[in-house]
Amino acid sequence: MTTLFGTALLSISLLAGGLSAQVHGPGYGRPYREPLFDRVQGDLSRAMEHAYARERVSRAQRELGKFQAERASGRFGGHQFHKAVNALDSVVRSNGIDPRDRDVLARDLQNLRGFGAANRY
């Protein structure tokens, strides 16, 4: 009887934990992370190593980080999203970055714009 009670209690606990994760979404209890944004931030960091236009790259990192923070807090963030996209576009158009980094960031920019369109930003 004790084993049956213990098994039932464990099952209920696991079910409640699973439901809590579904209600709160992925990343509940830790910063909201999305692979696209992590990849763009990583690509910007790599570009920073070879860039002459470091201020532009730094601004793009900041703006994208602000958008991520707004999104994580549940705010719409449309204005901040456009600021991040414009900052990244400025980096891509800059002559002060390595051409290989420019190509990677141009793909990131295209992916961000696709994300914006899909999420109505």
Q: Which pLDDT tens digit goes with each residue over 70-97?
A: 988 888 778 999 999 999 999 999 999 9
Q: How far apart are alpha carbons 13 and 67 in whole angstroms? A: 35
Q: Which residue has the higher pLDDT, 102 or 28?
A: 102
Residue 120: the pLDDT is 87
**Token representation of residue 19:** 């439901």
Residue 76: the pLDDT is 76
Helices (H) and strands (E) in the chain, counts: 5, 0
Q: Identify whether the C-beta of residue 44 lies closer than 8 Å to the C-beta of residue 57.
A: yes
Range 31-118: architecture per CATH: Up-down Bundle (1.20)
Backbone angles phi, psi at 65, to 5 degrees: -65, -40
pLDDT, tens digit, 9 for 90 and up, residues 108-119: 999 999 999 998
What proportions of the chain, in percent to the nearest 5, are helix, strand and coil? 80, 0, 20
Rg, C-alpha atoms of the chain: 20
pLDDT, tens digit, 9 for 90 and up, residues 4-58: 555 544 455 544 444 334 334 444 444 445 899 999 999 999 999 988 889 999 9
Q: Which residue has the higher pLDDT, 4 or 66?
A: 66
Q: How far apart are alpha carbons 64 and 24 in whole angstroms? A: 23
> Which pTM value belongs to this model?
0.71
Q: Identify whether the C-beta of residue 91 lies closer than 8 Å to the C-beta of residue 54.
A: no
